[in-house]
Structure 1
Amino acid sequence: MILVTGATGTVGREVVRQLVEAGRPVRALTRDPAAAAAVLGDGVEFVAGDLGRPETLPAAVAGADSVFLLSGGGPETPLHDANLGQAAAEAGVGHVVKLSIIGAEYEFTDLVSTWHLAGERALRQIGARPGGPAWTFLRPGEFTSNARLWAGPVKAKGTVFWSQVDTPVAVVDPRDVAAVAVTTLLEPGHQGQTYRFGGPEPLTVRERVAKLGAALGRELTVVDVPIAAARDAAAKSGRQPLVVETTLGNLTREEFQVHAVKVLPTFEKLVGRPPLTFDQWVADHIEIFR
């Protein structure tokens, strides 16, 4: 049995889909099992619980061999990771695969990277105890699916409002992130490893928008928005302003610009195929922009 947290999110639901496709028993931890069942469909066991409520976790991890841990990117991340790690240790779970972040690889000092790095450290400490679970940390770069945030302005005005639009990033498809997770969950030899990976080519926001426009058959414009304005817009849209500001602020950091542009062989070595391109992601999701 494999427990998946964050199972209805962009990466989590794809992890579930790929595990079910591989014929593996999957259990999804969710606050609302009925709603999750509507999203994930058949072939999945559901358990009500919350990483922030440790008393709900023993039932979630009972009988599980391994866990895919997606704990978000807020200040609660270290506590949530520790809660899950402790429950896994007490239940005799053998392996926890945590979805982390590029900044943990290079110890960036922004808040989101710091939170994930603290979560990793908590899992390392728990794993080092007798009976503690082995760990694997996945450290992808920016997701191609962040382009979903452009859908409203593209449909309304043919314009993308974003920050640091000329910074190239090797964006990675969430389906590929899930493929790495599934590989490390199902194949031996990944315990105690960290994997930094990204997409097949570095692209600026301008270049990504141009590709999207070509797929739509219309010219799109790009407006470079100050980070403070992006933070305020995030607050109005219900996203966490601090997380958005930190994420966009990373684009101005020299260390991020050096590392995020790198095209790495990690994904192909792990999964056995090239990573999906941004063009492929656009082709598969074009209807959300029409």
Structure 2
Amino acid sequence: MFVVTAPTGNIGRQVVQNLLGQDAPVRVVVRDPSRLPADIRDRVDVVTGSHSDPEVIAGACAGARAVLWLVPPQPRVADVERFYLDFTRPAAGAFVKHGVERVIGVSALGRGTPWEHDAGHVTAVLAMDDLIAAGGVPYRALANPSFIDNTLTQIPSITGHGVISSPVAADRRMPTCTTGDIAAVATRLLLDDGWTGHGEVPVLGPEDLSGDDQARIISEVLGRPVRYRQVPAGEFEATMLAYGMSEGVARSMTRMMLAKDAGLDNGVTRTPENSTPTTFREWCERVLKPMVHAA
């Protein structure tokens, strides 16, 4: 049995589809089963509840060979690192108690860099990795950069102002990847029983791009001018607060972006093994362009 947490999110949803496509038995942990597509709901074993609940995650892990572990975003917590650790602690115990053979965690780049201990959400997720690995379960942390898919949140700015923005310098080239490519790597590792121990698996996408590079590609794909704007950290944090995030989450997001601007995501050397196939241009043509036109 393969357990997928957060199965209605971008990564979990695609991992479920990938596993079912391989005729693998799938169990999902979900608060609201009605959010699962009907054709998926009828093909998986559903455990209802939060995977932070000790009884829920214990039931999900019973008889499980492998687990995809993903902590869902929570915009209103006071302390992001405490949230990640408190959410994960029951699962870390359940993995060991129920003899789970391997766990894949959705994590982040940054370990071993000068910024790993002051990078907001990244610092929190690296602490989560350490907690799981300390239990002794075979563990692979998917070390991801920023998700290309997050560009969708900028559609109102693209259509209204011809701008994409972040606190990162316009010429800072960094890796980015799609959630689909992350899901593909996660699926491969879940199905592969040939690894043990714990470690990181970087997922770098196929290329490093700057904000200016992304704006140029979006302009070419959409056939309209789009420029990149570096926003001051204070403005970025104020925007997060205006979106309804807590002070702790807004501050953590800002620290993460400042660390990325300093080089957090550039600490891993790109190789054919850690490069995934989907380019930013391909994603813009396939996903962004239709959604912008619809908007």
TM, length-normalised to structure 2 = 0.86
Alignment root-mean-square deviation, CA: 2.2
Check conservation: 1:8, 1:40, Cα contact below 8 A.
no
Distance in 2 between the 1:251 and 1:64 partners? 36
- Tell me: CA distance 1:124–1:161, structure 2 relative to 1, closer, same or farther (3 Å): closer
Gaps of 5+ in 2: 74-79
Residue in 2 that maps onto 1:259: 267
Check conservation: 1:168, 1:257, Cα contact below 8 A.
no
Distance in 2 between the 1:136 and 1:47 partners? 24
Distance in 2 between the 1:59 and 1:79 partners? 18
After TM superposition, give the deviation of residue 117 of structure 1 in Å: 2.1
After TM superposition, give the deviation of residue 248 of structure 1 in Å: 1.2
After TM superposition, give the deviation of residue 41 of structure 1 in Å: 5.2
Question: 1:251 aligns to what SS in structure 2?
Answer: helix
Distance in 2 between the 1:37 and 1:87 partners? 28
Distance in 1 between the 2:127 and 2:219 partners? 40
After TM superposition, give the deviation of residue 287 of structure 1 in Å: 1.7
After TM superposition, give the deviation of residue 30 of structure 1 in Å: 1.3
- Tell me: CA distance 1:87–1:10, structure 2 relative to 1, closer, same or farther (3 Å): same
Distance in 1 between the 2:231 and 2:53 partners? 38
After TM superposition, give the deviation of residue 252 of structure 1 in Å: 2.9
TM alignment of 1:31-46, pairs within 5 A:
31-37=31-37, 42-46=42-46
Kindly indicate whether structure 1 or structure 2 has the higher relative contact order, using CA contacts under 8 Å at least 6 residues apart.
2
> What are the superposed Cα offsets for residues 192-211 of structure 1, whole Å, 9 maximum, x if unpaired?
23212301111011111211
**Aligned AA (2:148):** T
> What are the superposed Cα offsets for residues 119-171 of structure 1, whole Å, 9 maximum, x if unpaired?
122112212xxxxx321221121211121121111122222232223211111
Q: Aligned pair 1:195/2:198, yes or no?
A: no
Distance in 2 between the 1:37 and 1:49 partners? 17
> What are the superposed Cα offsets for residues 182-222 of structure 1, whole Å, 9 maximum, x if unpaired?
11111132322321230111101111121112111111122
Check conservation: 2:174, 2:266, Cα contact below 8 A.
no
Residue in 2 that maps onto 1:9: 9
Identity of aligned residues (%): 24
Residue in 2 that maps onto 1:181: 186
> What are the superposed Cα offsets for residues 253-274 of structure 1, whole Å, 9 maximum, x if unpaired?
2x426427x5332235xxxxx5
Question: 1:93 aligns to what SS in structure 2?
Answer: coil
Residue in 2 that maps onto 1:130: none
**Aligned AA (2:64):** A
Check conservation: 2:33, 2:41, Cα contact below 8 A.
no
**Aligned AA (2:46):** F
TM alignment of 1:70-219, pairs within 5 A:
70-72=70-72, 74-75=80-81, 76-104=83-111, 106=113, 108-109=116-117, 110-127=119-136, 133-164=137-168, 165-192=170-197, 193-219=199-225
> What are the superposed Cα offsets for residues 79-99 of structure 1, whole Å, 9 maximum, x if unpaired?
222221211222222211111
- Tell me: CA distance 1:249–1:180, structure 2 relative to 1, closer, same or farther (3 Å): same
- Tell me: CA distance 1:101–1:258, structure 2 relative to 1, closer, same or farther (3 Å): closer
Gaps of 5+ in 1: 128-132, 269-273
After TM superposition, give the deviation of residue 172 of structure 1 in Å: 1.1
TM, length-normalised to structure 1 = 0.87
